Amino acid sequence: MSKYNYLVIEGNIGAGKTSLSRMIAEKFNARLILEQFAENPFLPKFYRDPGRYSFPLELSFLASRYHQLHRELTSPDLFKSFTVADYFFSKSLIFSKITLQVDEFNLYRTLFDIIHQQLPKPDLYVYLHVHAEKLLNNIRQRDRDYEKDIGVEYLEKLQEGYFEYLRSLQDQRILILDVNELDFVGKERDYLSVEEAIFHGEYRKGLNRLQLP
């Protein structure tokens, strides 16, 4: 029996958050919420021309993330032990701050603040920390056409954006899990190390950092 009702696994692009969420959900019979990013028609256009498509992309993600999380989190599944998601609604704010112009972001922030408070907060927010170079290698290996123009600089900006936001969440339990030396998808012992840290660690509200060997 999990001590969490709602667990979030987050991370930069290519950190392995979706893979880990799937593995946890399968092992613990948890309800799985996966971000539906591949269905967003603006995503390939954004990577080709960020200046033109950043605002419609971020607005479409804001709407789709809210509708998905609100639908899933307000309709409990009695046959599942808990819920695990591979993203948190706040990633909308993190990405938009990097991609939007100042005036666009100010408008976007107003919309975000209106609807953000309507969603439940996770019992634990896990951020998988991976260096940008390794993230880029992971992205190249999965070979998604619309991700081919992602560079280290963009990944580093996202990383900084995540850390800045996470430092502000003093009323939530945040676990920054350094997994640079692990292959939790390919090696069972590495996965078990991550599982142990998530489900058996005791974490205070605010930032908690843990580097796994």
Residues that are catalytic = 86
Q: Which residues touch 213 (CB under 8 Å, ≥6 apart)?
A: 181, 193
Please return the burial class of 3, using the count of CB atoms within 10 Å of its CB with bins 0-12, 13-18 and 19+: exposed
Could you tell me if 54 and 102 are in contact, meaning their C-beta atoms sit under 8 angstroms apart? no
Given phi > 0 = left and psi -120 to 50 = alpha, else beta, which region is 143?
left
Dihedral, 206, 90, 165, 138 alpha carbons, nearest 10: 100
DSSP secondary structure letter of residue 143: T
Which residue type does 50 have? Answer: P
Return the structure tokens found at 17.
Answer: 């958050």
Strands, DSSP E only, in 97-213?
124-129, 173-178, 206-211
CA angle 130/124/179 to nearest 5° reads 20
